[in-house]
Amino acid sequence: MLTQGHDKPKETAERQAFYDRIDKQHMTPLWSVLGSLVTPQPASACQPFGWKFDAIRDAMMEAGGLITAKEAERRVLILENPGLRGQSRTTTSLYAGVQLVLPGEVAPAHRHTQSALRFVLEGEGAHTAVNGEKTIMRYGDFVITPQLAWHDHGNESEEPMFWLDGLDIPVISMLDASFAEGLGEDTQEITRNTGQSYSEFGHALLPDNAEQSIVSPIFNYPYDKSRETLEAMKRGSDPDQCHGWKLRYSNPLNGSDAIPTMGTFIQLLPQGPTMPFRSTSGTVFVCTQGKGKTKIADTTIEWGEKDIFIAPSWASIIHEPEEESVLFSFNDKPIQEKLGLYREQRGNANSST
């Protein structure tokens, strides 16, 4: 059994000579690296960090003048964690970036094994098409692109559209399970009515012949509906001390997470500080309403509407909204729960579940 603070064995000339010999055979002694492989608690290079949307927007608009959406395939600026630079990671297991589609542009149709989410940050009237159905995108909407689903984006409005992309790219890369292909056309054939999936599955009713799926058949969860539900919770119950009033986006076919690899949430926070909370899931947050700050471990990040910030695994989180605020978030909790690894802690650091 490992003990906390286990010391690395001392180096000797004889041991080093042995290490040098076996290195040529591509072998390494476990005892020299055990402490960094099996740690007493999460030890991640991921760091708390925040991005102001205004700065992201300025950079994106400059990018819009340098490269087209079609040429780039996806005109996105990756939000790289400062502790994970060069790895296209926002947390250890999650990728996040901001995408821009200008008026009249199309981001060509393709598909891949990585699951994706879109969270709309600015604009109204652009669309995403997924497996033959279009959905119109509005501020705060949460849109799903399932793994291996054909998808393209277009902007028929007169204003630029910005949204947050969240993907499980680091997980798929770690498993060496990445496949991708282009359709060969800018847009896919539309075979279903706009909004049909929400009409069929978004009202606590299911088509009698609905097939089971690990991904939610709803691919656009409208912000106005989510906001209404948060207000209903507020009227009917007291806020959780750590999370305020919090909703999990779910798959209506089985009640599980809307995306099997990423947990997605929206929460309404009353003014004032929350009780400390931490979990093994590194989390990406986006403010959709209000302003305030969040203390993550020893780092304090100020945020307002459309700003994005991250909390690493097992870092204590205390939200301090200056006014009633709404946060969208996503993390890797579903994967950890399926593997029996998820752990969280509320308030007192000596108690965990």
Fold (topology level) of 49-346: Jelly Rolls (2.60.120)
Per-residue pLDDT tens digits for 78-88: 999 999 999 99
pLDDT at 40: 92
Phi and psi at residue 29, to the nearest 5°: -75, 125
pLDDT at 8: 79
Contact (CB, 8 A) for 276 and 317: yes
Query: Which 8-state DSSP code applies to residue 32?
Result: G
pLDDT at 349: 60
pLDDT at 9: 86
* pTM listed for this prediction: 0.94
State the number of CA atoms in the 13 A half-sphere of 246 facing the CB: 14
pLDDT at 353: 44
Dihedral of CA atoms 129, 130, 133, 135 in degrees, nearest 10, equals -50
Distance from C-alpha of 349 to C-alpha of 343, rounded to nearest angstrom: 13
- Of 164, 84, 171, the residue nearest 122 (C-alpha): 164
pLDDT at 4: 52
Give the pair of three-digit tokens for residue 199. 């009409």
Phi and psi at residue 188, to the nearest 5°: -90, 165
List residues bridging with 96 in a β-sheet: 166
Per-residue pLDDT tens digits for 275-297: 999 999 999 999 999 999 999 99
Cβ atoms within 10 A of the Cβ of 82, count?
10
pLDDT at 352: 43
Contact (CB, 8 A) for 101 and 186: no
pLDDT at 7: 72
Contact (CB, 8 A) for 74 and 107: yes
List residues bridging with 225 in a β-sheet: none
- Of 183, 266, 161, the residue nearest 222 (C-alpha): 266
pLDDT at 204: 86
pLDDT at 351: 44
Give the DSSP H/E element, type plus range, for residue 96.
strand 95-101
Give the pair of three-digit tokens for residue 296. 């993550």
pLDDT in tens, the chain (353 residues): 444 556 778 899 999 999 999 999 999 999 999 988 999 999 989 999 999 999 999 999 999 999 999 999 999 999 999 999 999 999 999 999 999 999 999 999 999 999 999 999 999 999 999 999 999 999 999 999 999 999 999 999 999 999 999 999 999 999 999 999 999 999 999 999 998 999 999 998 889 899 999 999 999 999 999 999 999 999 999 999 999 999 999 999 999 999 999 999 999 999 999 999 999 999 999 999 999 999 999 999 999 999 999 999 999 999 999 999 999 999 999 999 999 999 999 996 654 44
